[in-house]
Structure 1
Amino acid sequence: MRPFRIAKANARRLPALGAAFFLALGLFAPQAHAADTPSAPQARPAAPHAIPVPKSPDTPKDARPLAADAGAKTAAPTGGGTVGAPNTAKRLSAAANACDVSSFTGNSGAALVQQVKSAGLDCVNSLFTLTGTDARGAFNEAQMATVANALRDASAAYPGDDSTSVGQLVLFLRAGYYVQWNHSDVVGPYGTALRTAIRGALDAFFAAPHSKDVTEANGQTLAEAVTLIDSAQENGRYTGVVKRLLDGYSTAWTGSMATAVANTETVISQGFDRPDFVAALQADPAFATTMASFVTRNSAGIDGGDPVTRIGIQIGKLVADDTLRAQGRPIVKDLVNRYPLVGKTGPLTMNLLWFAEKKDAGNCSYYGTCDVPAKLVPLVLTVDHTCNANLRIRAQDMTAQQLADTCTSLVNEDAFFHKLVKDSGPVANDNNTSLEVVVFDDYYNYSLYAWEMYKIEVDNGGMYEEGDPAKAGNQARFIAHEASWLRPQFQIWNLNHEYTHYLDGRYDFYGDFEAGMTTPTVWWVEGLAEYVSYSYRGVHYDDAVAQAGKGTYALSTLFDSTYANADSTRIYNWGYLAVRYMFQSHPRDVDALLAKYRVGDWNGARTLLKNTIGTAYDADFAAWLKQCAADNCGSLPANQAPLCTAADTRQFDKNCRRDGVAATTGNYSYSFLYLPAGVQQLTITTGGGTGNADLYYNGGSWATTGSYQAKSANGGNGETLTIANPPSGWVYFSLYGQQGFGGVTVTTTYN
């Protein structure tokens, strides 16, 4: 995703965001002035204006919870069963071939019950996938009521294991609720008859003495019966069962007994959306304290994605409900002050903090959390590195080499940018003399902390905060995360794109972000960031070239792009194409446009684009797109790597060059460089100068015309070698004088 410049001035408050959250032991002890009950809402800094952009489709889903993640919760019954397979989810359709569906759809009454009880658990589990007439035949209300009544009868003598097939009856009912939820138009409605039957069944099962056995055999059926509570939407009726499991749990409960307790999270989480559950909690405040006790008794086992964390997070929903808030406040206050902000307890306390801030807003003094944002920064961002007077990196976890490489990338991009836009210095009244780059370890940690530390939206790939550049002391900041899915390769997601926004805002755009949005400028803002990022890094923009072949937009249409009327493809791929075309084909118009942007003449810039240029370039743009689709988009601006710094003039490093390389006819200029483990691609290029030099590469010894693994031997000095997955350690290359050569520039890059 490509977040962009956002201003804190004239900002609107953010909607609820998905994030997870933390605290340090004793860190948030109530302040001396904090009252025992919440005071009047206190003013908090307004959240910055932000426009959401998609994050990378490759961003992995983390198993640890995020409180308001839109995809983390659904009202639908849980699919699939775990009976007979402790701690693992069964594949729903794997057993279908060995399971005769007609034996369920073609039987009713006692014959249906007998079929369910005699079937294997794998067979019953495969019924979650039924659709159409099979779904109706197996799971219409009459069939479900029959099986529910059979579960009621079988539960009276439940032996604490599956020898009487109680597990099959429970799993069949779960499958029925799941299929009916997803295919109610086919299965038909469920009404009073089934509700009466399922209550009788669950009442009987949970009353059976052996349903309380702490054994693996009982746990297998118990775990499914707990989930069935939510499937049947009887959450409020069985809060006592949930309390009993939470109170009884200890670390001695393993396997399916632990799964049974973990499954109470579904009953609790979904229950908060149901009036009967909320009413039950209103009538029984001990439910809230039971959840709290469950967390504190078992906190030693917290690792971030465990049942204690997940169930503990549900406590936050107490403060989200007007009728339960009084119960939840002291518990949430205790827990967010009890456990660390960083470490294994983070997803618990930070999620609870999210509920306190977002659902009980204005009461940070009561919770003792008003200073959390400031305290989080040094706790989370343990790396503080200064590149130069204008560039600082605050990171969660970066090595010295990664810091050095990042600084080099940004410093060199700065020079590349100025050469491209030909500015004469910062625009008037711009005090953003420095940039702070914040780098979280991955997207999860970005989501976990950045919402609170910087009051931003986090459902994106990073955010650039320009602030008010006219304000003295204003701090521009790019908040980012590592692209963890690319490891072992190190990459800060959107680094060069976002740095372009900083440079563009300082040297091309007068005023703050909001001022620059008074007329449609998105084609330039995002298009330039893409153009610089891809050109500077020398990366082929596959997506944009593919879009060029579609010819979707006229250039005059792209001048009208806004964040509101354009999707990400138009904003980024087509913005890049428009900016690249204008730089290559009409550089004087670009100069004229920037002259207006730099003084804040937004209307004048708009007149230039829509009236002076108008549709005059549309036909030529369309012709250029066809050439570009054939990968003939024209020349990109040259990006010269910095000079190598090793004292030995034969030694090269990552992304550096040596000028003036020379050798006489028949002789060599020998070179080498050291590659760390995990390099995916090494590129060696040569050019310039006089004569004719050929390029040779060898992995582990000096490269010669008689000993090499790859070569490039064109006429002249323009040679390129790209080595995929080269070995780590010292590698060697050389220029051979096919004809005496001099003044050649040699550049090495790798990733």
Structure 2
Amino acid sequence: MRPFRIAKANARRLPALGAAFFLALGLFAPQAHAAPAPTPQGKPTAPTAKPAAPHAIPVPKSPDTPRDARPLASDARAKANAPTAGSTVGTNAKAPRQLAANACDVSAFTGNSGAALVQQVKAAGLDCVNTLFTLTGDNARAAFNEAQMVSVANALRDASAAYPGDDSTSAGQLVLFLRAGYYVQWNNKDVVGPYGTALQTAVRGALDGFFAAPHSKDVTEANGATLAEAVTLIDSAQENARYTGVVKRLLDGYSSAWTGSMAAAVANTETVIERGFDLPDFVGALQADPSFATSMAGFVTRNASQLTGSDPVTSIGIQIGNLVAKDALRAQGRPIVKDLVNRYPLVGNTGPLTMNLLWFAENKDSGNCSYYGTCDVPAKLVPLVLTVDHTCNANLRIRAQDMTAQQLADTCTSLVNQDAYFHKVVKDGGPVANDNNTSLEVVVFDDYYNYSLYAWEMYKIAVDNGGMYEEGDPAKAGNQARFIAHEASWLRPQFQIWNLNHEYTHYLDGRYDFYGDFDAGMTTPTIWWVEGLAEYISYSYRGVHYDDAVAQAGKGTYALSTLFDSTYANADSTRIYNWGYLAVRYMLQSHPQDVDALLAKYRVGDWNGARTLLKSTIGTAYDADFAAWLKQCAADNCGSLPASQAPLCTAADSRQFDKNCRRDGAAATTGNYSYSFLYLPAGVQQLTITTSGGTGNADLYYNGGAWATTGSYQAKSTNSGNGETLTIANPPSGWVYFSLYGQQGFGGVTVTTTYN
């Protein structure tokens, strides 16, 4: 997936997914079948140096990824710029409805002004006023031009003088009308017209009067309904700085006894605080009054029992982090953030608060982890968050937040079986030179929210995506390839790791097809292959019909020669993924010899040579044929896909085979053997043994009733490399034997047996 780093302000989320491994071949046979034992494969060498900073390939987010109620400081999209829409309390706590015929006559607000408008607003129900948030065009201008807003604001000022603590004088309708006006004007400035000092003066008078009214301080449901809307109006009018005292009063007074609309009034202060930090006057007000910061801190510590992650205490507490984001307030914020991050656990109900505050400390006050006492947090988080630690084999490990034994087993099987399928497609000769990524760690968070909350800190990656594969520097000793992923929670109860097989292909492609690290492979345009192959393997291996790509084929948008030029910068997701798949599938099926030649150059880092092959040697020669193939593909006749590889053999002895099964990772040094055997029932007409993949040069020997060697065999296949096949007609029943001989030391070879 496209590598990038979040650069824009407030973009704070981070992600990943990828995988790779080899299966070690077991070396112990039953006593009855004892054979000369090959030298055991060595275990991976322990890291001798700190891994280099990884080069990461992010996964696209699914459009079905649900939004979580819990906030993320790293989510720039969670912070809207427009005034809040619709009522936020009571029966009106819902999105504004469209105006209903005979239920709310818009002309009552657009056809009146001055005292007549005020009377109509007061007479309307709150539900009716709530629908005004949807006004546009001429109605928006007639209802909410500045003169109309000034009339209603002055009416609220007058009503506030005798505010009784409930809506009997229609103060709630007046507040909600003003909120609707600011919202509509923000989104339709060219129609409604500008708001100036006249409205500012009027709304300040209205809010001053309301918050000064004795009954505006009543802790009652009746008062809370209007109070909550008035708090939101502070932000709608961008008077955040003027009313810091009101916000502080609510934070200091709040307790668990405040429920319903009173709790909503306090919750609404979060918007006033968060958006206030974007206003210089608000920052200046907090700088002049340090007690505001201590009120925020006290609000959190007094009400810590309410922390769940999706509660107002968490949301408001997170805003404390903005203190360290502002130079003028950093001295106030540092000790508070330090205390809270170390006071509460990093996981569980308090995790959203502590991790979000930690985000501010690390991203807005970077280089001070010693002060905050957080330098060791990444290492501490791994066992706290990833409580599942499962080893598939010596080269594949899964660290997960929450996976069942069956889910772990299925994931291991999916990755292990994909390995042989990949090698069958690309026909590699083993890892490229200097690639030491012999093991893969797959990290699986429970859902996208947890991925976003923790992965940025644990792995120092961007998380505004659907996962990320970190290749790192494959030539560096101790480098750990890692695929950081999350479950596709929107598919539950079905279990799926988002983009698992696509990202695993990136690991395999990087190890067997691309010399050097990811950046080296981006020297020339290679994205048509990198992403196209990942899509091709993922869909064909899983046997899933690629509906989107077939639909694109019918459009005939791109020539093949154009797709060879695709980059992450010049192409959208449709061209990168759908059309990358189509280009790779066409080339693999129609011009495999050109693919072989291309990969030969990629595997040695001859990027310019590969580019010449694509743009000069091939050039536009295949464009017409590709266009014809696209038409066939659009009719769902795209050609044959490679057959799925046989499943792994299940016998306890790793040298024992059975009908239609395979083993990966066969190895032996030069002049030595990897011995195998299987039991054939009576009546077998044909036995086929094939080898593929891996490194070195392994020759295949078969013997009917005894161990197969170069000096004792009935059939052999001795091609260069590891692509060997033997077909034995009418083999005897009972135990038969075959072996791989190391003409040159070999490893990572896949061996498959089938019979009928």
**1:68: Cα distance to partner?**
2.7
RMSD: 14.0
Q: What are the superposed Cα offsets for residues 96-115 of structure 1, whole Å, 9 maximum, x if unpaired?
A: 64111111112122211111
SS of aligned partner of 1:427: coil
Does the aligned pair in 1 maintain the 2:16–2:467 contact within 8 Å? no
**Which residue in the other structure is 2:246 paired with?**
241
Cα deviation, residue 41, structure 1: 28
> Does the Cα contact within 8 Å between 1:687 and 1:744 map onto a contact in 2?
yes
1:649 paired with 2:654, answer yes
**8 Å Cα contact 2:16-2:466 kept in structure 1:** no
- Distance in 1 of aligned mates of 2:731 and 2:129: 52
157-166 or 705-714, which moves further after superposition?
Answer: 705-714
Report deviation, 1:70.
2.0
CA contact (8 A) 2:549 2:578 kept: yes
* Kept after mapping to 2: 8 A contact 1:21/1:349: no
SS at match of 1:557: helix
Measured at CA, do residues 408 and 41 of structure 1 come closer, stay the same or move farther in structure 2, by a change above 3 Å?
A: closer
How far, CA to CA, are the matches of 1:331 and 1:360 in structure 2? 13
Look up the match of 2:21: 21
Measured against aligned partners, the alpha-carbon deviations of 1:478-537 in whole angstroms (never above 9, x if no partner) come to 111111111111111111111111111111111111111111111111111111111111
Mark the CA change 1:327 to 1:18 in structure 2 (over 3 Å): closer, same or farther: farther
The answer on whether the counterparts of 1:34 and 1:365 sit within 8 Å (CA) in structure 2 is: no
TM superposition score normalised by structure 2: 0.80
2:717/2:725 contact within 8 Å kept: yes
CA distance change for structure 1 residues 42 and 276 in 2, over 3 Å: closer, same or farther? Answer: farther
The answer as to whether partners of 1:6 and 1:466 remain within 8 angstroms in 2 is: no
Find the aligned partners of 2:25 and 2:276 in 1 and give their Cα distance: 31
Shift of 1:640: 3.2
- Taking a change above 3 Å as real, the CA distance of residues 373 and 153 of structure 1, as seen in their structure-2 partners, is same
Q: Secondary structure at the match of 1:312?
A: helix
Tell me the equivalent position of 2:32: 32
Q: Does 1:520 align with 2:525?
A: yes
Deviation string, structure 1 residues 621-641 (Cα, Å, up to 9, x no partner): 111111000000000000034
Evaluate the alpha carbon distance shift between residue 459 and residue 670 of structure 1 in structure 2; reply closer, same or farther with a 3 A threshold: same
**1:723 Cα deviation after fit:** 37
CA distance in 1, matches of 2:148, 2:23: 51
- Which residue pairs with 2:38 in the alignment? none
Q: Aligned pair in 2 of structure 1 residues 715, 271: CA closer, same or farther (>3 Å)?
A: closer
**Counterpart-to-counterpart distance in 2, 1:601 and 1:662:** 29
Deviation at residue 192 of structure 1 after TM alignment: 1.3
Query: 2 CA distance for matches of 1:141 and 1:114?
Result: 18
Aligned-partner Cα distance in 2 for 1:242–1:30: 77
Matched residues in 2 for 1:344 and 1:146: separation? 47
CA displacement at 1:614 relative to structure 2: 1.1
Moved over 3 A (4+): 1-35, 38-54, 86-91, 94-97, 643-751
SS of residue in 1 equivalent to 2:675: strand
- CA displacement 1:640-685 (0-9 Å, x = unmatched): 3416859999999999999999999999999999999999999999
> Does 105-114 or 365-374 show the bigger shift?
105-114
- Whole-Å Cα distance in 2 between the matches of residues 45 and 747 of structure 1? 36
Against the structure 1 CA distance between its residues 47 and 727, is the aligned structure 2 distance closer, same or farther, given a 3 Å change threshold?
farther
**C-alpha distance in 2, partners of 1:31/1:326?**
74
Counterparts in 2 of 1:506 and 1:107: CA distance versus 1, 3 Å: same
Q: 1: CA distance between counterparts of 2:16 and 2:417?
A: 39
Q: Summarize the Cα distance change of 1:130–1:354 in structure 2 as closer, same or farther, 3 Å threshold.
A: same
Question: Equivalents in 2 of 1:33, 1:142: separation in Å?
Answer: 97
Contact 1:295 1:308 in 2 (8 A): yes
Match of 2:140 among 125, 135, 138: 135
Q: Which string of whole-angstrom CA distances, capped at 9 and with x for unpartnered residues, describes residues 394-419 of structure 1?
A: 11111111111111111111111112
The answer to whether the Cα contact below 8 Å between 2:649 and 2:662 also exists between their aligned partners in 1 is yes
Cα pair 1:685 1:721 within 8 Å, conserved: yes
Q: Which runs of 5 or more structure 2 residues have no equivalent in the other structure? A: 36-43
Measured at CA, do residues 593 and 276 of structure 1 come closer, stay the same or move farther in structure 2, by a change above 3 Å? same
Deviation of residue 429 (structure 1)?
0.9
- Looking at structure 2, the residues matched to 563 and 417 of structure 1 have their Cα atoms a distance apart, in angstroms, of 24
Q: Tell me, in whole angstroms, the C-alpha distance in 2 between the residues paired with 1:244 and 1:33.
A: 83
CA 1:350/1:725 → structure 2, altered by over 3 Å: closer, same or farther? farther
Identity percentage of aligned residues: 90
Mapped to 2, the partners of 1:276 and 1:677 lie a distance apart of 90
Instruction: State the SS of the aligned residue for 1:703.
Output: coil
Q: Distance in 2 between matches of 1:24 and 1:662?
A: 9
Q: By how many angstroms is 1:94 displaced?
A: 5.5
| CA distance, structure 1, for counterparts of residue 231 and residue 34 of structure 2 | 41
Distance, in Å, in 1 between the alignment partners of 2:711 and 2:23 is: 64
CA distance in 2, matches of 1:257, 1:72: 24
Q: Partners in 2 of 1:304 and 1:372 — Cα distance?
A: 20
Tell me the alpha carbon deviations over residues 242-267 of structure 1, each in whole angstroms, 9 at most, x when there is no partner. 00100110111100000000000111
Q: CA deviation at 1:189?
A: 1.1
Give a deviation string over 1:268-289, Cα, whole Å, max 9, x none: 0111111111111011000000
When residues 113 and 671 of structure 1 are mapped into structure 2, their CA distance, relative to the original with a 3 A threshold, is farther
CA distance in 1, matches of 2:53, 2:315: 28
Which residue is 2:217 aligned to? 212
Once structures 1 and 2 are overlaid, which stretch shifts more, 724-733 or 209-218? 724-733
Pair 1:369–1:729, CA change in 2 (3 A)? farther
Change (3 A) 1:488 1:352: same
Q: Which moved more, 1:102-111 or 1:454-463?
A: 102-111
1: CA distance, partners of 2:415 / 2:569: 30
Quickly say closer, same or farther: Cα 1:709–1:384, change in 2 above 3 A.
farther
Alpha carbons 1:319, 1:326 under 8 Å: kept: yes
Shift of 1:339: 0.8
> What does the per-residue CA deviation read over 1:269-315, in whole Å, with 9 as the maximum and x for residues that have no partner?
11111111111101100000000100111110111111100000111
- Structure 2 distance, partners of 1:443, 1:624, is 39
- Residues 660 and 506 of structure 1: is their aligned pair in 2 closer, same or farther, counting only changes over 3 Å? closer
Q: Distance in 2 between matches of 1:158 and 1:55?
A: 50
Structure 1: distance between partners of 2:337 and 2:461 = 23
For residues 25 and 349 of structure 2, the distance between their equivalents in structure 1, rounded to whole angstroms, comes to: 12
Query: Closer, same or farther in 2 for the Cα pair 1:269/1:5, shift >3 Å?
Result: closer
Contact persistence 1:227–1:263 (CA under 8 A) = yes
CA shift, 1:551, in A, is 0.8
Task: Please say if residues 40 and 362 of structure 1, whose CA atoms lie closer than 8 Å, have aligned partners that are also in contact.
Answer: no
Partner of 1:4: 4
Partners of 2:29 and 2:241 lie apart in 1 by 34
Note closer, same or farther for the CA distance 1:393–1:43 as it changes in structure 2 (3 Å cut): closer
Change (3 A) 1:97 1:338: farther
Q: Which residue of 1 aligns with 2:411?
A: 406
Contact 1:141 1:194 in 2 (8 A): yes
Deviations 1:370-391 (A, max 9, x none): 1111111111111111111111
**Cα pair 1:332 1:352 within 8 Å, conserved:** yes
2:669–2:746 Cα contact (<8 Å) kept? yes
Match of 1:251 in 2: 256
**Structure 1: stretches of 5+ with no match in the other structure:** none
The Cα of 1:62 is off from its aligned counterpart by 1.0
Q: Deviations over 1:329-384 (max 9, x none)?
A: 11011111111111011111111111111111111111111111111111111111
The 3 A distance-change label for structure 1 pair 460 and 193 is same
1:652/1:193 CA distance change after superposition, 3 Å: farther
Q: Give secondary structure in 1 for the equivalent of 2:102.
A: helix
Query: Would the aligned equivalents of 1:661 and 1:744 in 2 still touch at CA under 8 Å?
Result: yes
Once the two structures are overlaid, the 10-residue window that deviates more, 707-716 or 511-520, is: 707-716
Moved more, 11-20 or 177-186: 11-20
Give TM-score scaled by structure 1 length: 0.81
Classify 1:305/1:689 alpha carbon distance in 2 versus 1 (closer, same or farther; 3 Å). closer
Cα separation, 2, equivalents of 1:678 and 1:337: 72
More displaced 10-residue stretch of structure 1: 341-350 or 40-49:
40-49
Across the two proteins, how many residue pairs are aligned to each other?
Answer: 748
Greater mean alpha carbon deviation, residues 288-297 or residues 715-724 = 715-724
Instruction: Indicate if the aligned counterparts of 1:25 and 1:340 stay in contact, CA closer than 8 A.
Output: no
After superposition, the Cα gap between the structure-2 partners of 1:340 and 1:319, relative to the gap in structure 1 and judged at 3 Å, is same
- Structure 2 distance, partners of 1:470, 1:173, is 64
CA 1:44–1:634 in 2, change beyond 3 Å: closer, same or farther? Answer: closer
Instruction: Confirm or deny that 1:81 pairs with 2:90.
Output: no
Counterpart CA distance in 2 for 1:153 and 1:729 is: 102
Deviation for aligned residue 1:82 = 3.3
